[in-house]
Structure 1
Amino acid sequence: MRKKNYMEDDDEKTMESRKIQVSAGGSFFIVLPKEWSKSIGLRKGERVDVFLEEDGSVRIVPAEITRERVKTATLHVDEKVTPKALDLFIKANYMAGCSIINIESKERLNSELKKAVKASVAELIGVETAEETSDRLSLRAIVDPTGFPLQNLIKRVYSLSTSMFVDARKALSGGDAELADDVVDRAKEAMKLYRLMVRQLMLAHADRTTAKNLGIENSTECIILAVMARDVSRLIYHISSMAKYVKGVLEAGFQFNGKLADLMSKIFDLTQKMIEDAFRAFMERDAELANEVMGNMDRIRELDEIITTEIFETVKDVREAIRLTSILREVRRVAGYTVAVADDTVFNETIRFSSRPA
C-alpha cells in the first residue's frame, strides 16, 4: 500500500512533486498536474498570474480569478433572525473583506430588519445600499483599499483616542456632562476606523499587491496589526465607558476634595502619557519606548490602590464611592491596553529582526 502523503486528504492531493525542465531557449518550466488544471478550469492558451511569495515559494493563480476577485456573502432571513444577529452578520462580513453583502428573504423583509440593516451601514465606512426590494437588500463596499493606508488609519485612531481621553478627563474636572456625552459619541467614529482597519488587513492578507499598497511588508505583519487593532478597539471601549461613568458622577453632583483630585490627576497624567507613547512606539517601531510604557504599569497599579483607599476613607456615600471606583477601574483598563499595544510593538520588532537575512 502506498504511504499517504502528509499533504493529502481522503479525496484529493494538495501537493505534487515535479521536476524542473528547461526549454530550448533556456526558460524553466514545470508541468501542472492534469487533475488540478481541470478542477480549476484551466484551458490551453489561457493566462495565469505568477506570484513570488515572501517565503520564496511561487504561487500560480488563473488570471480570471485575479481580475474578478469579488467576495460575496448572503444571509437568508427567516423569522428567527434578530436585528442584532443581522447587525453582526453585516459587520463581520464587511471586516472579512466582502465586497457584496446580500440580505434575502422568501417573504417580505419587515421594517425592523430593514432599519437594522441601515443602522449597520451607518456604522461602516464606504458601504452603500446597491439594491433594495421588498424581499432583498444588497450592500456594496465601495471603499478603495489603497485610499486608506494602514499607517494613516493608525494615526487617525491615535488622534481620536487621545482626544477622547483628554476630554473625558476635562469633563470630570470641569463638571461638563455634555462633553462626556461627546466622548461617547466619538467612540462610534473610532469603531468605524477599527472595522475598516480589520477589513484592510483581511484584504492585504489575501492579496500581496494590496498589502504592498497598504504599506504592509509581509503576512506576519498582517497578523500583528490585526492583534494591535483589536487591542486599540478595547482601549477605545474603555475610554468610552470611563466617559459614561464620568457623566454619572457629574449628574450625582459629586465634588472632589483636594487630595483626591490631586491623586486622580496623577493617574490621568500617567495614563495619557502611556496612550501617546504606546501609539508613537508602534508607529515609529521604537521597542525601547514600548518597554517604558510597559514599565509604567506598576505605577498605575500603585496609584490605583492608593486612590481606592482614599475614596473609601473620604467618600461617605457608598453609591458615589462606587461610581468613582468605576471611573478608576476604566482608567486602569485603558492603561492596560496601552501595555498591550506596546507589547504588539515589541513582538513586531522581534519578528522583523529575526526574519532578516543573516
Structure 2
Amino acid sequence: MNKKDVRKVYRSGKGSYILTLPKEWIVANGMKEGDVVYLEVQKDVILISPKSRQVKEKSTEIDSRGANFNQLVRIIISHYLAGYDLIRVKTHTDEQRRSVAFAVDMLVGAEIMEDTGNEIVVEVFLDSKRFNVADVTERLFKICTSMLFDFCNSLRNFNRAICSSIMVRENEVDKIHLLAMRLLNTAMEGEEIGLSAREIINYRSVIRTLERIADHVSSMAEALVNLQSPFPRICNTVKEVEEMLKVAMMAFFKKDAEMAEQILEEYETFENEIQKNYEEILKFDVVRVLNLKTILDGLWRVAAYSADIAEIVLDMSV
C-alpha cells in the first residue's frame, strides 16, 4: 500500500489534537485498538510506524573470491555507505588483504579489529548523533576554499610542497564525503539526524558537488607541478572562482535566494571572461598549453558547480 491521503486534524481538549489513521494501514500492519504507534517528528514531516524505528547494529559478510584490489575496495566502501557496523571479509590473497587495509584507511570510524589470515573483521565505530551534517558540509567547504587559496598563492610563487599539500587535502575530502554519505543514507533508513527528507536530498547533492570541486582543484595543483613555474596572470580568475563558491555556500546555509541569483548572474559573466584566458595560452608550447588548459578547465568546472549549488538554493526556496 503506497498512496497519498488527506486527513483532517481535530482538537481534543486544550492541548491535544486528534488525527485518524487509514483502516487499510491498520489492517495491513496487524494492529488493533489500544496498540502503540511510534512517531518520529522532523521539521516538516512526522513519520508514523507500527514498530520502533530504532537503528540496530548491521553486520554482513563478504567473500572476496575473484575480486581484484580495486573491486574489493569498492565493495567495502559500498557496505560502509549502506550503514554496516560490522563487516567480515573472507580474503584469499595477500592483495585482497592489502585492499581491505587500504579501504579502511579511507573510512572515518572504521578499524580492523581482527585478522586471522583468511578473514578480516572491520568494525565501524560511529555515533551519528555526534555528527551534524551541516557542520560536516561546512568542513568540506572550508577545505575546498583553502585548496583554492593555496593554489592561487602557488600560481604567484610556485611551491611544490604547497601543491602536494593540496593533493593530500583532496584525500581528506574523500574521507569526509564518504562519512557524510553514510550519515545521510542511514537517515533515510530511519536514524534521526535532524533533517527532513527534502533537506537530505539537498545536502547529498551539495556534498557530492564539493567532493568534485576538490577533485578538480587537486588536478589543477598537479598540472601546476607539471609546469614547474608560476603563472600569476590567472590569479584573479582563481580569486573570482573562490568567491563564487563562498557566496554559493553562504546562500545554501542561509537559504538565501537573492544570493543564489547573484551567483547565477556572475557565472554568465564568468563564462565570457574565461574564454579570453583560453585564447591567451595558445601562444605557448604544447606541453604548457595542455597543463594550463587543465587549470582553466578546472576553474570553469568549479564555477559551474558553484552555479549548481545556487540552483539548489533556488529549488529550496520554492
TM category, shorter: 0.7 to 0.9
**Distance in 2 between residues matched to 1:143 and 1:50, nearest whole Å:** 24
Give the drift of 1:96.
2.2
- 1:75 equivalent in alignment to 2:44: no
Give the drift of 1:173.
1.6
Give the drift of 1:59.
2.5
Alignment of 1:268-287 (within 5 A): 268-287=238-257
**Distance in 1 between residues matched to 2:133 and 2:99, nearest whole Å:** 29
Moved over 3 A (4+): 27-37, 45-58
* Residue in structure 2 matching 1:121, options 93, 96, 104: 104
From the superposition, tell whether residues 199 and 56 of structure 1 become closer, same or farther in structure 2 (CA, over 3 Å). closer
Give the secondary-structure state (helix, strand or coil) at the position aligned to 2:60: strand
- 1:332 equivalent in alignment to 2:300: yes
CA contact (8 A) 1:205 1:219 kept: yes
**What root-mean-square deviation, in Å, do the aligned CA atoms of Structure 1 and Structure 2 show?**
2.9
% identity of equivalent residues: 21
From the superposition, tell whether residues 287 and 117 of structure 1 become closer, same or farther in structure 2 (CA, over 3 Å). same
Q: Tell me which amino acid in the other structure corresponds to 1:59.
A: I
CA contact (8 A) 2:164 2:221 kept: yes
- 1:220 equivalent in alignment to 2:198: yes
Give the secondary-structure state (helix, strand or coil) at the position aligned to 1:62: coil
- 1:249 equivalent in alignment to 2:238: no
| 1:312 alignment partner in structure 2 | 282
Q: Tell me which amino acid in the other structure corresponds to 2:271.
A: R
Give the drift of 1:69.
1.8
| 2:75 alignment partner in structure 1 | 89
CA contact (8 A) 1:235 1:338 kept: no
* Residue in structure 2 matching 1:176, options 152, 159, 163: 159
**Distance in 2 between residues matched to 1:56 and 1:155, nearest whole Å:** 25
Alignment of 1:10-49 (within 5 A): 36-37=29-30, 49=38
**Distance in 2 between residues matched to 1:184 and 1:221, nearest whole Å:** 30
**Distance in 2 between residues matched to 1:236 and 1:179, nearest whole Å:** 15
TM-score by length of 1: 0.76
- 5+ residue gaps, structure 1, are 1-6, 9-13, 16-26, 351-358
CA contact (8 A) 1:102 1:136 kept: yes
**Distance in 2 between residues matched to 1:255 and 1:180, nearest whole Å:** 12
- 5+ residue gaps, structure 2, are 5-17
From the superposition, tell whether residues 57 and 126 of structure 1 become closer, same or farther in structure 2 (CA, over 3 Å). closer
| 1:233 alignment partner in structure 2 | 211
Give the secondary-structure state (helix, strand or coil) at the position aligned to 1:109: coil
TM-score by length of 2: 0.85
Alignment of 1:119-268 (within 5 A): 119-207=102-190, 210-212=192-194, 216=195, 218-250=196-228, 254=229, 256=231, 261-262=232-233, 264-268=234-238
Q: Tell me which amino acid in the other structure corresponds to 2:221.
A: A
CA contact (8 A) 1:205 1:211 kept: no
From the superposition, tell whether residues 47 and 128 of structure 1 become closer, same or farther in structure 2 (CA, over 3 Å). farther
CA contact (8 A) 1:274 1:293 kept: yes
**Distance in 1 between residues matched to 2:211 and 2:313, nearest whole Å:** 16
From the superposition, tell whether residues 132 and 321 of structure 1 become closer, same or farther in structure 2 (CA, over 3 Å). same
From the superposition, tell whether residues 33 and 180 of structure 1 become closer, same or farther in structure 2 (CA, over 3 Å). same
**Distance in 2 between residues matched to 1:222 and 1:274, nearest whole Å:** 24
From the superposition, tell whether residues 239 and 297 of structure 1 become closer, same or farther in structure 2 (CA, over 3 Å). same
Give the secondary-structure state (helix, strand or coil) at the position aligned to 2:262: helix
**Distance in 2 between residues matched to 1:286 and 1:57, nearest whole Å:** 26
Give the drift of 1:272.
1.1
Give the secondary-structure state (helix, strand or coil) at the position aligned to 2:71: helix
**Distance in 2 between residues matched to 1:57 and 1:169, nearest whole Å:** 47
CA contact (8 A) 2:54 2:190 kept: no
Give the drift of 1:191.
1.2
CA contact (8 A) 1:203 1:211 kept: no
Q: Tell me which amino acid in the other structure corresponds to 1:134.
A: G
**Distance in 2 between residues matched to 1:56 and 1:182, nearest whole Å:** 43
- 1:344 equivalent in alignment to 2:294: no
| 2:14 alignment partner in structure 1 | none
From the superposition, tell whether residues 189 and 76 of structure 1 become closer, same or farther in structure 2 (CA, over 3 Å). same
The structure with the larger Rg is: 1
